[in-house]
Amino acid sequence: MNLMEMILALLAVVLFTTLSLSYNQSIWRQTDYLNNATLTVQASQLCHSVLDEADAKLFSKQLDISNLVTTYNFTRTKTYSHLAQTFTIKAVAVDCDSLGGNLSSPNPNSFFKRIVVTVSGPSSLTRPVTMMRLYTKTFM
């Protein structure tokens, strides 16, 4: 094997390696998409469950709307056995105006409360999922 042949063989190896890395990288990326899509659906359901829990407790009067802000300000974790991954749930409840906007000054007697739930955690979930619900005091 002369020098030219050796260089050609080396170039072939470099070409194969580059192609292999490129293919593998795209396959890993697609696996990430799969995991991210699945976890996004699960995370959105987790957001719903926190907000529905608040709805249910308010409906049954287990929770008064005036206590919503103190009760739904927390950070907790949730682990599912079928995923073996831990989600972090952050709920932030505040007094707000009728459109869900922030008040210029805090007013605990406001008729309107806003809960924002953000679910993050597993590395495969590329972006946190956030949901907001506006609560209005209707029974005076």
Min. distance of Cβ 71 from another protein in angstroms? Answer: 14
DSSP string, 58-94: HHTTSS-GGGHHHHT-EEEEEEETTTTEEEEEEEEEE
Name the minimum Å distance from CB 61 to another protein: 7
Chain centroid to CA 95 = 23
Q: Which residues bind another protein (CB under 8 A)?
A: 1, 5, 9, 12, 16, 19-20, 23-24, 26-27, 30-31, 33-34, 37-38, 41-42, 45, 48-49, 52-53, 55-57, 59-62, 80, 82-83
Task: Find the shortest distance in angstroms from Cβ 62 to another protein.
Answer: 7
Asked whether the beta carbons of 116 and 131 are under 8 A apart, the reply is: yes
Separation CA 19–CA 3 (nearest Å)? 24
- Pick between residue 76 and residue 98 the one whose CB is nearest to another protein: 76
Question: Which residue lies nearer to another protein by CB, 59 or 127?
Answer: 59
